[in-house]
Amino acid sequence: EPEVTQTPSHQVTQMGQEVILRCVPISNHLYFYWYRQILGQKVEFLVSFYNNEISEKSEIFDDQFSVERPDGSNFTLKIRSTKLEDSAMYFCASRADNTEAFFGQGTRLTVV
Amino acid sequence: SQQGEEDPQALSIQEGENATMNCSYKTSINNLQWYRQNSGRGLVHLILIRSNEREKHSGRLRVTLDTSKKSSSLLITASRAADTASYFCATARASGTYKYIFGTGTRLKVLA
C-alpha cells in the first residue's frame, strides 16, 4: 500500500540552526501539506502546496519557514533559524484530487 | 467553538462497550475525516465521509455526518484495549486548497 514517508523520524537541533525535514509523498498525488503538533496539542496546518507553489499558509508559517519540491518526488520543509518553540511533531501529507489526505509518520523535532 | 472541536475531550470505558465521539465544525465542508493517533505517533486515517453522505461504516467504526448541524460522530463498537488512542476529526473546506483543519481530539481509554 502506498504511503507517505518522512525522514528523519527524530531530529535534535540546537537553537538557531537550520533544519530540513523531508517527505516523499505518494507518487500520483498533487496536493502536499505540512502540519505540526506541539506535544499534547492539536494538529495545526502550516502550508499547502500545489502546482509547484504555495497555495495557502497559516500565520505560523512565517519567514523562517519555506517549502520546496526540489526533484518531483521529495517535499521539504526548512526552518531557517530554529527556536525552542519550534519543537513539535511535523507531519507531511499528500492527496490526489478529491481523496483523503494520507499522512506520514511524522518527524519529531526537538530544539535544545 | 473552533472549527473541528471534539467532545468529549476524554473518555474512559470498559472493553466491550461502545465509544461515541462527536465533532462540530463551523464552515461548509467538502469532506470530513477521522484519524487515530497513538501517543506520540503518527496519524492513521480511519474513515472519510463526504458532504453528500450521511453515514459510513468500516468494520467496527460508524461515522455519521449532519451538515445541517455541522457535526459528525464516530462510534466504535465493541471496543478493545487496543483502541486506546486519541481520535481527531479533520474537515476539508468546500473550496480552496482543501486544507484540513483538525479538531482538539478525544482521548479514548479502553480498560481491559
Q: What is the DSSP string of B46-79?
A: EEEEETT--EEEETTEEEEEETTTTEEEEEE-S-
How close, in Å, is residue A59 to chain B by CA atoms?
14
| List of domains in chain B | 5-111 (2.60.40.10)
Closest partner CB to B42 (pick from A55, A56, A105): A105
Amino acid at B73: S
- What share of chain A in percent tops pLDDT 70? 100
Is the minimum CB–CB distance between B40 and chain A shorter than 8 Å? yes
Whether the CB-CB separation of B108 and B86 falls below 8 Å is answered with yes
Spell out the domain ranges in chain A. Answer: 5-111
User: A5-111 adopts what CATH topology?
Assistant: Immunoglobulin-like (2.60.40)
Among chain A residues, the shortest Cα distance to B99 is held by A48
Cα–Cα distance, B112 to B109 (Å, whole number): 10
Look at B42 and A91 and tell me if their CB atoms are within 8 Å. yes
**CB neighbour burial string for A89-105, b if at least 16 within 10 angstroms, e if fewer:** bbbbbbbeeeebbbbbb
Amino acid at B103: G
Which of B111, B106, B92 is closest to B20 using CA atoms? B106
Reply yes or no on whether the pLDDT at A59 is more than 80: yes
Residues of chain B with C-beta less than 8 angstroms from the C-beta of A89:
40
Residue B41 grid cell: 505517533
Is the minimum CB–CB distance between B97 and chain A shorter than 8 Å? yes
The string of pLDDT tens digits covering residues A6-23 is: 999 999 999 999 999 999
The string of pLDDT tens digits covering residues B16-64 is: 999 999 999 988 898 999 999 998 788 888 999 999 999 999 999 999 9
CB proximity under 8 Å: B 57-96 to A: 88, 90, 92, 96
Residues of chain B with C-beta less than 8 angstroms from the C-beta of A106:
41-43
Q: Is the peptide bond before B8 cis (omega within 30 degrees of 0)?
A: yes
User: Confidence class of residue B5 from pLDDT cuts 50, 70 and 90?
Assistant: confident
Reply yes or no on whether the pLDDT at B4 is more than 70: no
